[in-house]
Amino acid sequence: MALAGTVIFGALLVAVDGVLSLVLDLDVVSEPDAGPLIGPLMAVVALAVVFFAILIAMRPTAKRAKLPIAAAIVGAIFVYLLGPISGAVLYFIAREQLAAGALFLAKYLSSPFVLASVALAFVVILVLPPLSRVGTRAHS
């Protein structure tokens, strides 16, 4: 289920970023000297966070909440922080200027693309684990 949730998150992320890009007339990563890897790296980091957050939300415990609210909040926070930080580190490495990396980070912490990925991560992490339990109860 964690892999399926991650695939769903990735598909939603690509779709929402595409629509936002068209509607706002913005590039996901607008720096012309950023190179082609920063945007995909940020997406891969978000995908990894969602995968592990869903795994954590689905682990068997004696007292499991109906909705994994804590896992969804923590996962969304990590998507919000780690995606832009990974992009800023790669941009810093490419430009070899610490200030450029810091400015990149500051800019993308308020990017509509990053904020959309946070919202999507929250919803997917919140909804997928309870949905997986519904399917297993029906066969019991």
What are the pLDDT tens digits along the chain (140 aa)? 889 999 999 999 999 999 999 999 999 999 988 888 999 999 999 999 999 999 998 887 656 667 889 999 999 999 999 999 999 999 999 989 999 999 999 999 999 999 999 999 999 999 987 777 665 554 54
In the chain, where the domains are located: 2-138
Q: Can you give the three-state secondary structure of 43-108, one letter per residue?
A: HHHHHHHHHHHHHHHHCCCCCCCCCCHHHHHHHHHHHHHHHHHHHHHHHHHHHCCHHHHHHHHHHH
Q: b/e for 77-114, b at 16 or more Cβ within 10 A?
A: ebbbbebbbbbbebbbebbeeeebbebbbebbeebebb
